[in-house]
DNA sequence: GTAACTGCAAAATATTTGCATCCTT
DNA sequence: AAGGATGCAAATATTTTGCAGTTAC
């Protein structure tokens, strides 16, 4: 079975054209995608609304997740490990290249613990690093 | 001279009513504010457009900065140290309370360094921690 | 007085919702 | 066949822009 189908089925989503195409986009790009990227890359082949709804259901199922960025543009990323393992652990560092502006999931770099002031209880931490990526250096 | 005026003048912005009010909001709340918060708290006393433009110029001058959040809602925060020192160093951790959903600048907690894979050069790192804050615990 | 700021109107964008139709299971 | 997904239209919401009038310096 194709990887795309597998992922969709595992998450109890029916396998439709738009979902397959969008999921394939994520699998191809090892970075993160914004809503606009997705509309562009699929060549306007389906409705803007479908993109919204597809992304939303992917997020709900935990297949992709939002990445916080410094300029607060909204990006989504699928992280290989998560999806193949079937359980979600997105506590890795995200890297955004200042040169090519790609967003990359550093699956192997986990977010370090920090000591918080008295009274604060941490639950989840997110970390985003900006700089120059592997390809642009 | 009032603190608000001082900050504005130091950053070469003319001292106007809206700027004073909005700056005061930031000084009063030790957390972060979203565009909507600002419109609400000023009691609609000035135009939505003015809020946009005021926030934009504050960001440009480095008086406030955007905080990346997990849900990508846009929040702005002014951080005391930065402004009083006149130079910007927003490399501290931000805390978002899951209970009261306030965003707090932990000025004393600096973002830890992480080891990146070969080829990646870090320039700036941002960290956001979710959990329960001091007041809600 | 001049340059910068504000508010209004309106344009441009982005996002959400309802509903009829079509596709997947 | 039944439920879910899609696409279109339209309603909302958000952000940007132009311009005339006002204010700060």
Distance between CA atoms of B133 and A134, rounded to whole angstroms?
37
C1' nearest to CA of B49: which nucleotide?
Answer: C7
Is position B76 within any domain?
A: yes
Report pLDDT for A79: 66
CATH number of the domain that residue B22 is part of: 1.10.10.10
Residue B84 or A128, more confident: A128
Determine the distance from the C-alpha atom of residue B113 to the mean position of all C-alpha atoms in its chain, rounded to a whole number: 22
Is position B137 within any domain?
A: no
CB B72, CB A74: distance < 8 Å: yes
Q: Is the CB of A10 under 7 A from strand C?
A: no
- Collapsing DSSP states into helix, strand and coil, what is residue A33? strand
Distance between CA atoms of B105 and B92, rounded to whole angstroms?
7
Is position B39 within any domain?
A: yes
Token duo for residue A74: 């909204």
Chain A 3-42 residues in 7 Å CB range of strand D: 13-14, 16-19
Report pLDDT for B132: 95
* CA B16 to C1' C3, whole Å: 14
Decide if pLDDT at B3 tops 70: yes
- Record the pTM: 0.82
Could B116 and A132 be called an inter-chain contact, meaning their C-beta atoms sit closer than 8 Å? no
CB A33, CB A17: distance < 8 Å: no
Average pLDDT value over all residues in chain B: 85
Is position A25 within any domain?
A: yes
pLDDT (mean) for B59-68 = 87
Is position A111 within any domain?
A: yes
For B37, the domain range is 2-131
Residue B68: which pLDDT band, with cuts at 50, 70 and 90?
A: confident
Q: Is the CB of B88 under 7 A from strand D?
A: no
Q: Is the CB of A49 under 7 A from strand C?
A: yes
pLDDT digits (tens, 9 = 90+) for A89-120: 567 888 988 888 888 888 889 999 999 999 99
Could B132 and A116 be called an inter-chain contact, meaning their C-beta atoms sit closer than 8 Å? no
Contacts of residue A87, Cβ cutoff 8 Å, sequence gap at least 6: none
Cite the beta strand spans of B1-137 per DSSP E: 33-34, 65-67, 75-77, 92-97, 103-110, 121-132
Provide the 8-state DSSP code for A30: S
Is position A24 within any domain?
A: yes
Could B93 and A106 be called an inter-chain contact, meaning their C-beta atoms sit closer than 8 Å? no
Distance between CA atoms of A106 and A97, rounded to whole angstroms?
12
Distance between CA atoms of A38 and A25, rounded to whole angstroms?
8
The phi and psi torsions of A80 (rounded to 5 degrees) equal -45, -55
Report pLDDT for A103: 86
Contacts of residue A108, Cβ cutoff 8 Å, sequence gap at least 6: A92, B117
Of B123, B124, B131, the CB nearest to A121: B131
Is position B136 within any domain?
A: no
Could A109 and B109 be called an inter-chain contact, meaning their C-beta atoms sit closer than 8 Å? no
Is position A77 within any domain?
A: yes
Pairing, β A92-97 against β A121-132: parallel
Q: How many domains does chain B have?
A: 1
Measure CA to C1' and name the residue nearest C6: B50
Burial letters for A16-32: b for 16+ Cβ neighbours within 10 Å, e otherwise?
eeebebbbeebeebebb
Residue A50 or A126, more confident: A50
Q: What H or E segment, with its residue span, contains residue B9?
A: helix B3-10
């Amino acid at each position: 079975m194709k990887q795309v189908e597998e992922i969709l089925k595992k998450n109890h989503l029916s396998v439709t054209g738009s979902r397959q195409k969008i999921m394939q986009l994520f699998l191809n790009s090892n970075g993160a995608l914004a809503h606009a990227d997705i509309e562009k890359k699929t060549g306007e082949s389906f409705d803007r609304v479908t993109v919204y709804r597809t992304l939303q259901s992917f997020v709900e199922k935990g297949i992709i997740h939002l990445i916080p960025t410094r300029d607060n543009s909204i990006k989504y990323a699928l992280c290989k490990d998560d999806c193949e393992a079937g359980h979600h652990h997105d506590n890795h560092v995200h890297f955004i290249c200042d040169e090519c502006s790609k967003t990359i999931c550093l699956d192997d770099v986990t977010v370090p613990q920090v000591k918080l002031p008295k009274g604060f209880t941490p639950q989840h931490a997110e970390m985003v690093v900006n700089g120059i990526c592997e390809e642009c250096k």
